Amino acid sequence: MLEIEIDGKKLTVPQGSTVMDAAHSVGTYIPHFCYHKKLSIAANCRMCLVEVEKAPKPLPACATPVTDGMKVHTHSDMAKKAQAGVMEFLLINHPLDCPICDQGGECQLQDLAVGYGNSASRYQEEKRVVVGKDMGPLVSAEEMSRCIHCTRCVRFTEEIGGFQEIGMANRSEFSEILPFLGKTVDSEISGNVIDLCPVGALTSKPFRYSTRAWELSRRKSVSPHDGLGANLIVQVKGNQVMRVLPLENEDINECWIADRDRFSYEGLNSAERLQKPMIKHDGKWHEADWQTALEYVVKGLNGVSRDHGKDAIGVLASPHSTTEELFMVQKLARSFGVNNVDYRLRRSDFRADAAQQGALWLGSSIVELASAKSVLVVGSTQRQEQPLLASRLRQAVKKGSELNVIHVADDALLTKLNAKLIVSPQALVNALAQVLKAVVAIKSGESAIDLAAVTVSADAQRIADSLCGAETASVVLGNVAQHHPAFSELLSLAQEIARLSGARFGVLAEAANSVGAELVGAVPTRGVFGAAVSAGLNAQQMIAEPRKAYVLLNTEVEFDSYNPQAAVAAMKSAETVIALTAFKAEGLLDYADVLLPIAPFSETAGSFVNMEGRLQTFNGVVRPQGEARPAWKVLRVLGNMLGLSGFEYTSVEEVRAEWQGKGEIAPSLNNVLASVSANVQPAASALVRVGEVPLYQADAICRRASSLQATRAAAVPVAHAAQSVLDAAGVQSGAVVVLKQGEGQVRVALEADAALPAGVVRLATAHPTTIVLGGMFDPIEIKQG
Amino acid sequence: MAVFVNGVIFDGVDTAAADAWRLDAYVARGGYQALRKILDSKLPQEDVIAEVKNSGLRGRGGAGFPTGLKWSFMPRSFPGDKYVVCNTDEGEPGTFKDRDILRFNPHALIEGMIIAGYAMGTKAGYNYIHGEVFAEYQRFEEALEEARKAGFLGQHILGTDFSFELYAHHGYGAYICGEETALLESLEGKKGQPRFKPPFPASFGLYGKPTTINNTESFASVPFIIRDGAQKFLEAGKPNNGGTKLFSVSGHVNRPGNYEIPLGTPFSTLLEMAGGMRDGKKLKAVIPGGSSAPILPAEIMMSCTMDYDSISKAGSMLGSGAVIVMNEDVCMIKALERLAYFYHEESCGQCTPCREGTGWLYRVIHRIANGEGRPGDLELLDSVGNNMAGRTICALADAAVFPVRSFTKHFRHEFEYAIEHGKTLVDHKWC
Ligand SMILES: Cc1cc2nc3c(=O)[nH]c(=O)nc-3n(C[C@H](O)[C@H](O)[C@H](O)COP(=O)(O)O)c2cc1C
Ligand code: SF4
Ligand code: SF4
Ligand code: FES
């Protein structure tokens, strides 16, 4: 520990602290621009100059290491003069037209200029003009004359984003912040540069000039997208969400949010929002009042249950719904006698249900995962599924943790991997079994899984060595593993690896409330907190054995299902499809017959349980649009109208109290299966599809966010395959081919991709151009042009 | 034109002979004897460093930091990679000595770097060469090849356990890449921008590994020191200013060129060697150490000897040894304008005071030079300069301020006149 005195305050700080760190720890503010606690030290803005006793000149607090006995003055004459001098330099070429700057009112330069600047300028020459840059649909770089060259944006893309999307070209005052020629700045988390930019140089393109910062109110919320549960500040004007910013939470999202969290709000205001209940009569849609629409629903459900029995009804709910909504929907179904309830629409393997003993979750906290010395990520298109977690794992690697990957594609993870096994989906189980076999050998352990047929590859050995050698280790299964037709086997293997190596294991929750859905029993085999229930059909069975009636909560099955082709067919064959939805979606208009407008997360109170099992509650930030109502209220009224008891809630808090009263979260989280099994032989080598969900197709809200839809990640998907696959099919890279699954086929360009293993064709699912196809990891055929 | 007198580096080099730079000629002059001596006698690393320390050799790149001391900062027992890097970026206006070392005696540099590599336990070195001296870069590559073939460079040098690889790298002509940490960035393939120090290169240098950077002339002096002894080198100059030094004399003299002379030689002698003032004009002022060094008026300069201490006492710096001689026809405002323009162009742009200040200084001086000066401009220059100097990541900002301070101090009347009368006092003659 080192002793230091800052403005007369004595304190001790750990070795390696800077003067800035020390000042922060006693709440002393030192003005700064380039310094940011999560970025490397650039020490270029010079705003943080302070006086250090015995130093002949002022020193930058952000970059000056504390030495024992150091005495620092942040407000002395020397310090103040130095700071004022820097402020003058910053302002000489800065356009002082704050009234027309989008950053006005929330600009660090403006704020600090008031405190440290002069009222008149001694600079009489012409100010520099820097032409604007096109950084793509998310980040506006129109006002580059405002840039103060702090390079926060540059450092962010490189250090946190993982690769340089922004650079500073040229020298001297001709230095300019640029994207790379012809490139955009819209990788999965690049929007954070908007927050980082201390001035109005980089601003939010969708938000720009729509309103003034001081006209907005700030409300706390939680991201409804991936399973991380990023904390949000939602900014509101009138009754509209205008902007979304990160709310710092070191345990979850640190000070970042993904672009999906930031820009999805545009979807909330989309023209597709369903404003009124609608009923289809004779193939035509009509607006209806709530009473009529609910009576229609009740009649439909009663009719089907009378004619075909309760089992003819299926309930499919989105894990992007709130815990209260999911609790209510399963309660409504089960009270009515319907056991077919599931949230796992993209799952294809439910064999683990019988052995499952609790809610599937991460198996550790996010912080624990990020600080594990060795991590094995199985089947995850990480940057797409969990953009911020992927970044956090990259930071972990920089701090020395070993990242291992078993996956179906050699995606650019922008970090150093300790070892990787890239195999076709059919060999995924075998790959994980190799690791298990190596772990068994290292630990001289035993496994119930028969590993005799497994040959351990060098990379599997490295992974096993890494997991067994590390003090703390984690094995986590991503979306590809969870959607995979052998999920239960992968989970079994992960469990065995974890048991023998001492690692933790779990799943990377796909959606904001996957864990919540598990907890409140939005599954056919387990009730609230695992309570025993009469088993019903799971999501796949409800599709494979079509029901006569479906209740859809917050989902469009063509985008949200493992097999959209089958799901849509099932919907079309039903007598009634009742959709509780925030959007007048094209698909729903086609196969549903009644649409009930429900409020998205921003318009209702609720909660999400994130991947680490953390319950996060939030309130609505605006009133529901049009006649939309919070889904819990709709479900409550339906319960009343169906004559069910236990639906007398007057507030969402009552709903929450009820499910919370039935158990505790922590003890209910459990990934351990009562029995494990896996068939470790690689499956037959038919060509299979790798069909992941694109970054901005994951949920109903982001699908309608127009700026996100203009990014590179949202481009119409093309198919990719290894050269060997193209050769076997006799096609050139880039040729348009017909890809066929079941009854459906699409014409799409097929490009060679060295990142893919043999035997697969990668083509995204959940996209309007591919929803006629079948299962995400099922066989697929290539037919020439 | 190059003239060498009593040289250390250019001892015996016949610059007129086409092949004087080649290995054979170098060996004939006694080249690579120092390396043989070290390897034959298995001289301990500490002894090599001690010898360099005792020689009084001070860095020839500008700052004059004692070379032996710098070498002793390298963690010699550090097990991983370490590097020695030579700075031949030579971009400072007025300086053209390192180019001549590559042109006439590249093996002196190569041998010096090999010895440095030995002394600091490094296995690899790089020479970063200014991008605009391409012919010299090519010659250096050839010289490297000669040394490799002859077994002086590469694996198992002269059959011993000692191995050292040396590579040449040419830059693209940015002055800032001569600043040692910008040079490292550039060598790593990044934009040439100085790094904040600490950490210093001795602990975090090239690719994050311990690195020692020296100027071309510093390295090229080492073979002499080892071969003929520290004492002999020291005696060639004067105490605390050991050795001879290359001076690049330019400006209004009859014979501009490089002169290698003992440190401590009177300036008047150097001026005479350079043929005296051209056209019999009067000496007005001299920048004694490259464009970053404060200018000195003729009277002061004529009383100086050419060494670190004397020039420093007179209020300037010996710097890189670029001696810019100006006659009575020079308008000091024009001269300063040119220098200010240079720094304005060459600032790397990362630090606020330098990025914004160099342009501001230039514009004000430009205005004054064009008869548009305003009352208060000299105070403004002074104050802007004060807000720059010592407030930045590297010394370029200081280098930009020193000329402004010294010109406006020693020739204040010219500036005042121009501001008052809307025209310059001296009718500048371009020649
Ligand atoms: C802006 C700037 C430019 C520099 N250019 C050079 C150069 O061209 N050559 C050089 O040897 N040193 C140059 N230096 C000095 C180097 O940073 C470094 O101090 C030197 O290479 C060390 O070598 P020495 O100890 O042998 O002098 C420059 C320094 C600054 C601040
Ligand atoms: S654009 Fe903004 S963040 Fe980037 S360097 Fe300029 S001021 Fe800093
Ligand atoms: S002082 Fe100037 S040249 Fe040096 S780092 Fe700063 S901006 Fe770049
Ligand atoms: S905050 Fe320290 S130099 Fe920018």
Suggest the residue from A44, A66, A67, A93 to mutate for an interface test with chain B (most B CBs closer than 10 A).
Answer: A44
**Residues 6 or more apart in contact with residue B376 via CB below 8 angstroms:** none
Q: Residue B279 above 80 pLDDT?
A: yes
For residues A161 and A257, the answer to whether their CB atoms sit within 8 Å is no
Tokens matching residue B207: 């690719």
Ligand 1 — pocket residues by CB below 6 A?
B 59-63, 65, 67, 70, 87, 89-92, 176, 178-180, 213-215, 218, 394-396, 399
Judged on CB neighbours under 10 Å (0-12, 13-18, 19+), A348 is buried
Going from the N-terminus, what domains does chain B have, and what CATH number goes with each?
3-236 (3.40.50.11540), 244-327 (3.10.20.600), 332-421 (1.20.1440.230)
Q: How confident is the model at residue B238 (pLDDT cuts 50, 70, 90)?
A: confident
Looking at chain A, the whole-number percentage of residues with pLDDT higher than 70 is 100
Give me the pLDDT at residue A91, please: 95
A712 to chain B, closest Cα gap in Å: 27
Q: Describe the strand order of the beta sheet including A419-422 as a list of residue ranges.
A: A419-422, A402-407, A374-378, A473-477, A504-507
Would you call A583 helix, strand, or coil by DSSP? Answer: strand
| Cα separation, A84 vs A49, whole angstroms | 10
Give me the pLDDT at residue A390, please: 98
Mean pLDDT of A76-91: 96
Amino acid of residue B158? L
Residue A178 Cα, ligand 2 centroid: separation in angstroms?
10
B10-63 residue pLDDT tens? 888 988 889 999 999 999 999 999 999 999 999 999 999 999 999 999 999 998
| Cα separation, B374 vs B376, whole angstroms | 6
Cα–Cα separations (whole angstroms), residue B364 to B357, B370, B411, B430:
11, 10, 16, 21
Task: Check CB contact under 8 Å for A171 and B348.
Answer: yes
Give me the pLDDT at residue B69, please: 97
In chain B, which residues touch A (CB < 8 A)?
174, 176, 191, 196, 198, 344-353, 355-360, 363, 374, 380, 386-387, 390-393
Q: Residue B320 above 90 pLDDT?
A: yes
Architecture of domain A688-784: Beta Barrel (2.40)
| Packed helices A290-308 and A631-641: angle between N→C axes, nearest 10 degrees | 60
Give me the pLDDT at residue A662, please: 97
Suggest the residue from A148, A154, A172, A176 to mutate for an interface test with chain B (most B CBs closer than 10 A).
Answer: A172
Q: Residue B5 above 70 pLDDT?
A: no
Cα–Cα separations (whole angstroms), residue A699 to A138, A323, A559, A582, A625:
19, 16, 8, 12, 19
A576-581 and A594-597 as β-strands: parallel, antiparallel, unpaired? parallel
A535's enclosing H/E stretch is: none
Nearest-CB residue to A171 (from B196, B347, B353) = B347
Q: Residue B430 above 80 pLDDT?
A: no
Ligand 3 — pocket residues by CB below 6 A?
B 176, 194, 347-351, 354-355, 392-394, 396-397
Domains of chain A, residue spans: 278-348+518-662, 366-507, 688-784
Ligand (nearest to CA of B89): 1
Q: How confident is the model at residue A682 (pLDDT cuts 50, 70, 90)?
A: confident
Q: Residue B1 above 60 pLDDT?
A: no
Q: Residue B107 above 70 pLDDT?
A: yes
B355 to chain A, closest Cα gap in Å: 5
**Residues 6 or more apart in contact with residue A660 via CB below 8 angstroms:** none
CA dihedral (B102, B108, B112, B115) positive or negative: positive
Amino acid of residue B342? F
A457-481 residue pLDDT tens? 999 999 999 999 999 999 999 999 9
Residue A115 φ then ψ, to 5°: -80, -35
Q: Residue A541 above 70 pLDDT?
A: yes
Residue A92 sits at the chain B interface (C-beta within 8 Å) = yes
A623's enclosing H/E stretch is: none
Put residue A239 in one of left, alpha, beta given phi > 0 → left and psi -120 to 50 → alpha: alpha
B374-409 b/e (C-beta count within 10 Å ≥ 16 → b): eeebbebbeebbbbbbbbbbbbbbbbbbbbbbbbbe
Residue nearest to atom 4 of ligand 3 (CA): B394
What is the topology classification, in CATH, of domain A366-507?
Dimethylsulfoxide Reductase; domain 2 (3.40.228)
| Cα separation, A334 vs A536, whole angstroms | 10
Does ligand 2 lie within 6 Å of residue A194's CB atom? Answer: no
Residue A45 sits at the chain B interface (C-beta within 8 Å) = yes
A347-405 residue pLDDT tens? 999 999 999 999 999 999 999 999 999 999 999 999 999 999 999 999 999 999 999 99
Q: Residue A338 above 80 pLDDT?
A: yes
Residue B180 Cα, ligand 1 centroid: separation in angstroms?
6
| Cα separation, A95 vs A143, whole angstroms | 10
Question: Whose CA is closest to A198, among A286, A262, A106?
Answer: A106
B197 to chain A, closest Cα gap in Å: 8
DSSP state of A602: G
Give me the pLDDT at residue A9, please: 95
Does ligand 2 lie within 6 Å of residue A199's CB atom? Answer: yes
Residue nearest to atom 12 of ligand 1 (CA): B61
Q: Describe the strand order of the beta sheet including A203-204 as a list of residue ranges.
A: A133-134, A139-141, A203-204
Mean pLDDT of A536-554: 98
Residue B350 Cα, ligand 3 centroid: separation in angstroms?
6
| Cα separation, A764 vs B410, whole angstroms | 74
Judged on CB neighbours under 10 Å (0-12, 13-18, 19+), A554 is buried
Mean pLDDT of A87-98: 93
A278-348+518-662 carries CATH number 3.30.750.24 = no
CA dihedral (A292, A294, A297, A301) positive or negative: negative
Provide the CB-side half-sphere exposure for B363 (13 A, CA). Answer: 17
Residue B354 Cα, ligand 3 centroid: separation in angstroms?
6
Q: How confident is the model at residue B406 (pLDDT cuts 50, 70, 90)?
A: very high
| Cα separation, B237 vs B60, whole angstroms | 14
B359-402 residue pLDDT tens? 999 999 999 999 999 999 999 999 999 999 999 999 999 999 99
Give me the pLDDT at residue A686, please: 86
B88's enclosing H/E stretch is: strand B83-88
Residue A314 φ then ψ, to 5°: -125, 140
3-state percent breakdown (helix, strand, coil) of chain B, nearest 5: 45, 15, 40
Give me the pLDDT at residue B3, please: 61
| Cα separation, A187 vs A161, whole angstroms | 8
Q: In ligand 4, which atom is closest to the CA atom of A35? A: 1
Tokens matching residue A122: 């001694």
| Cα separation, A83 vs A80, whole angstroms | 5
Beta bridge partners of A629: A598
Q: What is the pTM of this model?
A: 0.95
| Cα separation, A720 vs A762, whole angstroms | 5
Tokens matching residue B36: 């043989």
Residue A108 sits at the chain B interface (C-beta within 8 Å) = no
Tokens matching residue A725: 């696959």
Q: How confident is the model at residue B326 (pLDDT cuts 50, 70, 90)?
A: very high
Mean pLDDT of A199-219: 94
Q: How confident is the model at residue A213 (pLDDT cuts 50, 70, 90)?
A: confident
Give me the pLDDT at residue B11, please: 86
| Cα separation, A83 vs A48, whole angstroms | 7
Give me the pLDDT at residue B4, please: 62
DSSP state of B157: G
Judged on CB neighbours under 10 Å (0-12, 13-18, 19+), A166 is buried
Question: Whose CA is closest to A196, among A129, A131, A151, A241?
Answer: A151
Residue A60 Cα, ligand 4 centroid: separation in angstroms?
6
A1-14 residue pLDDT tens? 999 999 999 999 99
A253-300 residue pLDDT tens? 999 999 999 999 999 999 999 999 999 999 999 999 999 999 999 999
What is the chain B residue with the closest CA to A171? B348
User: Does ipTM come in above 0.90?
Assistant: yes
Other residues' Cβ atoms within 10 Å of the Cβ of residue B429: 12
Question: Whose CA is closest to A224, among A498, A547, A631, A626?
Answer: A631
Alpha helix stretches (DSSP H) within B347-426: 352-369, 377-388, 396-410, 412-421
Residue A605 sits at the chain B interface (C-beta within 8 Å) = no
Task: Check CB contact under 8 Å for A82 and B176.
Answer: no
- Mean pLDDT estimate for chain A: 96
Mean pLDDT of B147-170: 97
Looking at chain A, the whole-number percentage of residues with pLDDT higher than 90 is 96
Contacting residues of A for B174, CB less than 8 Å apart: 171
Other residues' Cβ atoms within 10 Å of the Cβ of residue A120: 6
| Cα separation, A3 vs A12, whole angstroms | 4
| Cα separation, A34 vs A40, whole angstroms | 10
Give me the pLDDT at residue A785, please: 58
CB pairs under 8 A between A and B: 94
The DSSP string of A680-734 is: -SPPP---EEE-PPPGGGSSTTGGG-HHHHTSGGGSPP-EEE-HHHHHHHT--TT
Nearest-CB residue to B349 (from A41, A57, A171) = A171
B357 to chain A, closest Cα gap in Å: 7
B194 to chain A, closest Cα gap in Å: 10
